[in-house]
Amino acid sequence: MNFTLLINEGPYQHQASDTAYQFAKAALEKGHEIYRVFFYNDGVNNATRLAIPPQDDRNITENWAALAKEHELDMVVCIAAAQRRGMLDADEAGRQGKDADNIHPAFRISGLGQLVEGGIQADRLLTFGD
């Protein structure tokens, strides 16, 4: 079976991203597939490559990146939500005339259609939010 996961809250402030990560790991361990992980609302903030959490705490972005690498996960950040909140990749920063970018290479930026398509293609869509 395959799942699309929708994550609507940023890292640390809410448990949503942690729960989604633990769920994804357990699903993959049981042999299921993750069709897509879609980051929306403040969820886009999970994609920053600039975070430096305390050494005795988890690094949520790196956890996702490692899981994605191991299982070739498609991790999509909503472009509109990301622009509103200052999350940019190098292409976007160039196009918008911004002098820096901050998105981790494990994530890709795309439109909301990717969420709807994820709901159509996957057997189940799960929302993790506040």
Partner 1 sequence: MAKLHIVNKSPFERNSLKSCLGKSKEGSTILLIEDAVVGALKGTVVADDLSSAIANKNVCVLGSDLNTRGFTEAEILDGIKIVDYAGFVDLVAEHSNVQSWL
Partner 2 sequence: MSEGIKKFMFMNTKAPYGTVYALESLEVVLISAAFDQDVSLAFCDDGVFQITDNQKTDGSGMKNFSAAYKALGDYDINKIYVEKESLEERGLTMDNLMKLTYEDEDDDWAEKTSMYLVTRAELADLIDEQDVTISS
Q: Point out the residues that are catalytic.
A: 78
Scanning 47-55, 85-93, 96-104, 122-130 for contacts with partner 1 by CB under 8 A, the matching segment is: 122-130
- Interface characters, 53-72, with a copy of itself (x: CB under 8 A): xx--x---x-----------
Task: List the interface residues with partner 2, window 64-83 (CB under 8 A).
Answer: 80-81
Between CA 72 and CA 34 the distance in angstroms is 9
Which residue's entry shows tokens 């509109």?
80
Between CA 23 and CA 67 the distance in angstroms is 12
Judged by beta carbon distances under 5 to 8 A according to partner kind, the member of partner 1, a copy of itself, partner 2, none in contact with residue 17 is none
Torsion of CA 85, 64, 59, 83, to 10 degrees: -10
CA-derived radius of gyration, the chain: 14
Closest C-alpha to 37, from 104, 99, 127: 127
**Total chain residues near partner 2 (CB under 8 A):** 29
The sign one gets for the Cα dihedral 63, 36, 30, 126 is positive
Residue 113 is a binding residue for partner 2 (CB under 8 A): yes
**Interface ranges with partner 2 (CB under 8 A):** 6, 8, 12-15, 18, 21-22, 40-41, 54, 56-58, 80-81, 111-113, 115-117, 119-120, 125, 127, 129-130
**Interface ranges with a copy of itself (CB under 8 A):** 10-13, 41-42, 45, 48-54, 57, 61, 80, 83-88, 93, 96, 98, 100-102
